[in-house]
């Protein structure tokens, strides 16, 4: 918004000088680009305001969704999908551990920002503390249910 508020006076002051010199040599009306920009800049401000509001209100939900999706994509790339191998590969490997911590941080941030936006100020600390215990929940759910989703272990006779 500050950029647009500085751009409009600069455009009103400097652009007629430059466009008058440039377009009068070619025989084109020099005022039409200025009027077009004066109509276009308020539309850009409106678009930026609406998009900023949408992102502001949907960011906690996007953070939760992206943390769960990135965690599942990361864990699905491990060859061995049993419980002990997933624990050892994700906690002992430095790269996997950093990715796991980033997913936990993003998930915790999404939960915390949802709690702040939905609760009363007096209930923030109690509810946020309880809900932050759910940060490792997607990781544990993936590890505990991965043995049931292995396509090689599905029996074609039992699936109907």
Check residue 34 and give its pLDDT.
63
Interatomic CA distance for residues 11 and 124, integer angstroms: 47
pLDDT digits (tens, 9 = 90+) for 98-141: 999 999 999 999 988 888 887 766 666 777 778 888 899 999 99
**Which residues, at least 6 apart from 87, have a Cβ–Cβ distance to it below 8 Å?**
143
How far apart, in whole angstroms, are the C-alpha atoms of residue 132 and residue 113?
A: 11
Name the more confident of 36 and 66.
Answer: 66
């Amino acid at each position: 918004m500050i950029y647009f508020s500085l751009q409009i006076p600069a455009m009103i002051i400097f652009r007629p000088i430059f466009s008058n010199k440039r377009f009068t040599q070619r025989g084109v009306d020099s005022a039409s680009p200025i009027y077009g920009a004066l109509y276009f800049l308020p539309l850009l401000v409106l678009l930026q305001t609406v998009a900023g509001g949408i992102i502001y209100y949907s960011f906690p939900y996007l953070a939760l969704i992206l943390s769960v999706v990135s965690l599942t994509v990361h864990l699905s790339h491990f060859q061995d999908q049993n419980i002990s191998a997933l624990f050892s590969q994700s906690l002992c490997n430095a790269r996997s551990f950093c990715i796991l911590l980033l997913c936990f941080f993003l998930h915790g941030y999404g939960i915390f920002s949802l709690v702040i936006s939905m609760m009363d100020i007096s209930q923030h600390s109690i509810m946020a503390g309880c809900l932050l215990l759910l940060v490792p929940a997607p990781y544990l759910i993936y590890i505990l249910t991965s043995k049931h989703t292995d396509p090689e272990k599905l029996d074609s006779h039992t699936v109907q």
